[in-house]
Amino acid sequence: MTIQTPTPFQASTGNTQVAFGRAELSVILSLYGRMVAAGEWRDYGISHLRDVAVFSVFRRTAETPLYRIEKRPRLRARQGQYAVIAMDGRVLRRGHDLRTVIRVLELKLIRAVD
């Protein structure tokens, strides 16, 4: 009899957790690097939960996140699985393509550089 230990992306109940893939993280971290270079962002946090994966962006470590980039696969067929949410809870953009969704944050980078 073989005992299976849960992988890092499985909850203790055996349910899989939502996680960002390598390509998704590459897109997000590329934007993050440009925003750090511009002096806008300083820290980030990643949470992989049962229903949602969240990439949170902070200006300072002790603050609440400026933005959250969320992946909710349950919304894939409806509004799109990706969303950018502001500090006050407003959904800035939601859609099916991650690059298109985070473009709303790139526009803020262009304004910050001007």
Each domain of the chain, given as residue ranges in start order, spans 22-113
Q: For residues 111 and 63, which has the higher predicted lDDT (pLDDT)?
A: 63
Report the amino acid identity of residue 20: F
Sheet holding 53-58, edge to edge: 43-48, 53-58, 67-71, 82-86, 91-95
Reading phi first (left if > 0) and then psi (alpha if -120 to 50, else beta), residue 69 is in beta
pLDDT in tens, 30-85: 999 999 998 888 999 999 999 999 999 998 767 789 999 999 998 888 888 999 99
Q: How far apart are CA 12 and CA 57, in angstroms?
A: 28
Mean pLDDT of 1-17: 51
Mean pLDDT of 8-19: 61
| Phi, psi dihedral angles at 75 (to 5 degrees) | -90, 10
Report if pTM > 0.85: no
Q: Assign 13 a pLDDT band (cuts: 50, 70, 90).
A: very low
Mean pLDDT of 92-112: 83
DSSP state of 66: S
